[in-house]
């Protein structure tokens, strides 16, 4: 098993995509990810050229409900667990800089 399948740069990039902060003492996770990525290589032993993927075992597709309004959480209930709200809305950090 190779320990460098995932490079340092890739590791930092994945952390950013995942919106996770990796502490200096957690950098060893990179090697563990490489090990796992190395382990799953055994799937190459199986020929799947003519095989269709199974994304979900009971093969349900596009399940929809009737377009009817049903009772749901109130605005108060919806906001009750947020640490910060503003004028009856969730409050987020700015995504666009001025």
Partner 1 sequence: MSDLNKLDLKQARTGLLSKKFSALDLVTDCLKQIKNNASKLNSFVTVTQDSALKEAQIADISKPLGGIPIAVKDNFCTKGIRTTASSKVLDNYIGQYDATVIERLKSAGAIIIGKTNLDAWAHGSSTESSDYGPTKNPWNINHLPGGSSGGSAAAIAADESIVSIGSETAGSIRQPASWCGVVGFKPTYGRVSRYGVIAMKSSTDSPGPICKTVDDAAAILEIISGNDPHDATSIGEPPWKIPKTRTDLKGLKIGLPLAYFPKEIQPEVKESILLAAEVYKKLGAEIIELPDVLDPKYSIAVYTILQRSEVSSNLARFDGIRYGNDRSLFGQEAKRRIMLGTYSLSAGYYDAYYTKAQKVRTLICQDFDKQFQKVDVILGPVSPTTALKVGATEGQSMFGELQDMLMEPSSIAGLPGISIPCGFDNQGLPIGLQIIAPQKREDLVYQTAKLFESTTDYHLQSPQL
Contact residues toward partner 1 (CB under 8 A) are: 6, 10-11, 14-15, 17-22, 26, 29, 32-33, 35-37, 39-46, 48, 51-58, 60, 63, 65, 73, 77-78, 80-84, 90-92
Residue appearing with tokens 């108060």: 76
Please give the structure tokens belonging to residue 80. 């009750």
The CA distances from residue 95 to 13, 20, 92, in Å, are 19, 17, 8
Q: For residue 85, which phi and psi values (nearest 5 degrees)?
A: -130, 165
In the complex, least distance from residue 65 CB atom to partner 1, rounded to whole angstroms: 6
In the complex, least distance from residue 8 CB atom to partner 1, rounded to whole angstroms: 13
The residue (of 44 and 98) whose beta carbon lies closer to partner 1 is 44
Residues 37, 6 contacting (CB under 8 angstroms):
yes
The residue (of 50 and 98) whose beta carbon lies closer to partner 1 is 50
CA distance 22 to 30: 10
The residue (of 86 and 98) whose beta carbon lies closer to partner 1 is 86
């Amino acid at each position: 098993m190779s320990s460098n399948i995932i490079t340092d740069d890739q590791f930092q990039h994945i952390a950013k995509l995942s919106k996770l902060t990796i502490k200096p003492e957690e950098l060893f996770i990179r090697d563990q990810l490489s090990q796992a990525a190395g382990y799953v290589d055994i799937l190459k032993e199986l020929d799947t050229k003519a095989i269709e993927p199974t994304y979900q075992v009971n093969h349900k597709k596009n399940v929809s409900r009737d377009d009817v309004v049903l009772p749901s959480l109130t605005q108060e209930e919806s906001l009750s667990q947020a640490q910060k709200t503003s004028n009856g809305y969730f409050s987020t950090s700015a995504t666009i800089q001025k």
